[in-house]
Amino acid sequence: MRLNRREALCALSGLALSGIAPISLAQSYPNKPVRAIVPYPAGGIVDIMGRLIAERVSANWGTQVIVEPRPGANGMIATEAVLSAPADGYTWLIASASHVSNASIYKNELRWDPIRDFAPIGMFGKAYNFLVVPATSPAKTVAEFVAMVRAQPGQHNFGNPGNGTPPHIAFELFKHAAGLDIQGIGYKGFAPLLPDLFAGRLSASMLASTLAISHAKEGRLRILAVLNDERVKELPDVPTLAQAGYPEAQLVSWFGVLLHRKTPPEIVRRVAVEVEKAAKSAEMRDRLEKSGNLPAWLGPDAFEAHMKAEMPNWERIVKTVGIKP
């Protein structure tokens, strides 16, 4: 079949545009501020970690990365907001371990898959959890806390920043291992939980490192144990939960960046390069370590493999402690 001159020119133009468009899109990216959506309230550990990476990327990149907290439903509101936004690289998800554990807790409620629907950019840090009590608590050690709760079954409670969050699951594991009759009370993040903990209206909680260390130094709470394989250098006198007799409850939280899976690969690669540069910077490492967190970089492939490997483990944990939607 022969094409006339006009048809031939149109066909050539179409081919040229189809080849150039993806390259032009990547070359022009970013040409406006980027939103980094955080699934939990401002002031919590995910928000703190999100702001650390956003500030470092902004400084290196010359493009503003704006942190936007979208709390609710244990991160699912923020997650769905990322999926409903254009897949153009301008909407990031600051994810934590809840991104994966939700798949085990909310099997019938999730309208997305934590792996299939998201492009991994990288894991940039980890955070310890600490078993803490109010500063006024009579319990000075894990053994004393366990003895106190056992002596008064059903009369104590613990606060968690949301159903199915890593701190909630960690306390449930501890409760299960120690055989404690203690009631969990859920909050919408750490910010509303902390005043009740400081005032003694809560008997205990699991707090992320940044919050636990800062408030312990200010005398608002007491740290009984750290959920880590070894003691942290900032608190050498604080035992691990394993050293206190409960290795089953060890959980370390992680934080990473995800994009919509349909984001153009060229943009995914561009974001991954910038986030890795920020995560590996001396400034980022210094700020993470000073806040009691762990620098921990995993690139896109390794990060995705890590999340896939965690899924059966979360399934087992959720089943063991009986966490439900």
**CA nearest to 193, candidates 179, 219, 212, 217:** 212
Which DSSP string do the residues of 219-265 spell out, in sequence order?
TSEEEEEEESSS--TT-TTSPBTTTTT-GGG---EEEEEEEETTS-H
Lookup: tokens for 53: 């990476």
Residue 101's Cβ-count burial label (10 Å; 0-12, 13-18, 19+) is buried
Quick one: what percent of the chain has pLDDT higher than 70?
92
Per-residue pLDDT at 5 exceeds 80: no
Residue 13 has pLDDT above 80, yes or no: no
Q: Please name which of 301, 270, 257 lies closest in space to residue 39, comparing C-alpha atoms.
A: 257
What per-residue confidence (pLDDT) applies to 117? Answer: 97
Q: What does the pLDDT read at residue 210? A: 82
- Expressed in angstroms, the distance from the first to the final Cα of the chain is 62
- Gyration radius (Cα) of the chain, Å: 23
DSSP β-ladder status, 129-134 and 221-227: antiparallel
Share of the chain above pLDDT 90, in %: 64
CA-to-CA distance for 277 and 57, rounded, in angstroms? Answer: 8
pLDDT for 115: 96
- Measured in whole angstroms, the distance separating CA 312 from the mean position of its chain's CA atoms is 18
State phi, psi for 64 to the nearest 5 degrees: -75, 130
Measured distance CA(79)–CA(162) in Å, rounded: 15
* Domains by residue range for the chain, with CATH: 23-127+253-321 (3.40.190.150), 129-249 (3.40.190.10)
Distance, CA of 65 to CA of 276 (rounded, Å):
15
* pLDDT, tens only, 73-95: 888 999 999 999 999 999 999 99
Coil/strand/helix, residue 153: coil
More confident residue, 300 or 209: 300
Question: Does residue 230 or residue 255 have the better pLDDT?
Answer: 255
Q: Give the residue-averaged pLDDT of 227-231.
A: 86
The CA distances from residue 140 to 156, 167, 220, 223, 304, in Å, are: 16, 21, 14, 9, 40
| φ, ψ dihedrals at 293, nearest 5° | -105, 175
Report the number of secondary-structure helices (H) and strands (E) in the chain: 11, 11
Give the per-residue pLDDT at 26: 64
Q: What is the pLDDT of residues 164-186, one digit of tens each?
A: 888 899 999 999 999 999 999 99
> Confidence class of residue 44 from pLDDT cuts 50, 70 and 90?
confident
SS3 content of the chain, % helix, strand, coil (to 5): 45, 20, 35
